[in-house]
A = this chain, B = another copy of it.
Amino acid sequence: MKTIAVILSGCGVYDGAEIHEATLSLYSIAKNGCTYKIFAPDINQHHVINHITGEEMNETRNVLVESARIARGAISPLSDFVAADFDGLLFPGGFGAAKNLSNWAFNGPEGTVNREVSDAINCIVGLKKPIGALCISPVLIAKVLGNIELTIGDDSGTVEGVEAAGAKHVNTTHGEVVIDQKHKIVTTPCYMLDATIDQIGEGAENVVKAMIKLM
C-alpha cells in the first residue's frame, strides 16, 4: 500500500491549514487505496485569527498542536520526517502555508521557507517521488525548487510572485491540475478560486490520483 506524507500548517484557513482541503485530501488518499501519515512543524503560529471577524487574537498557538485537531492526534513533528519512508508528499492549502511554513504572506518571493519544509521538499524530489500542493501551497514548491510548472489558479498578484520565484504559471479553474512531469509536482487551485466544497473535493481527488500515477 502506498503511503503519502501530509504536511499541515495549523487548523483554520486564516492562520493555519485550510480544513476542507486538508480533510478532503486525507479522504481522497484513503478512498484511492493509499494510506497517510501527518506531520507539522513544532513551532508557534505566526498569529491567531478570529475566523468570524478576521481580527488577530491575543493568543499563542502551536502549529503541531493545532494541526493535531485535523489529525485526531495521529501526528508527528516534521523533524521526524524521513522521505525514504513515503511514496509522495502532499501540502493542503490555507494561509498557514504562507504564514507558518514560510513567510510568503509577508515577504512574497523574497521570503524564506521553514527549513524542515524545504528539506522535506528537496528530499522527496531527490528520490523522484511526487509532491501534491493545493491552493496557496504551490508557492512553497516554487520558492524551494524555482523553475517548475504549477498553478495557483488565476490570482494575478500571486501569479506574479511565483513567476518572480522562477516558476512557470498555468491559469486553471476548479478541479484542474497542472503536472510538472520532470519534477513530479501536481498542483490545483482549490480555494484560491471562489469555490464550493464539492469543487475542493474534486481538486483534492484529482491531485491524489495524479500523484498515484506518478509513483
Enumerate chain A interface residues (CB-CB to B < 8 A). Answer: 11-14, 16, 18-20, 23-24, 26-27, 30-31, 50-52, 54, 59, 64-65, 68-73, 75, 191, 196-198, 200-201
Contacts and interface: CB of A to CB of B under 8 A. Distances in A.
B73 A52 contact: yes
Given A19-B69, A27-B201, 5 more contacts: A11-B11, A13-B72, A20-B23, A20-B26, A59-B59
Contacts of A200: 27
Given A26-B197, A31-B201, A11 B69 contact: yes
A30 B196 contact: yes
A52 B11 CA distance: 14
Given A51-B71, A65-B50, A68-B51, A20 B27 contact: yes
A176 B201 CA distance: 23
Contacts of A201: 27, 31
Contacts of A196: 30
Nearest to A26: B197
A52 B38 CA distance: 12
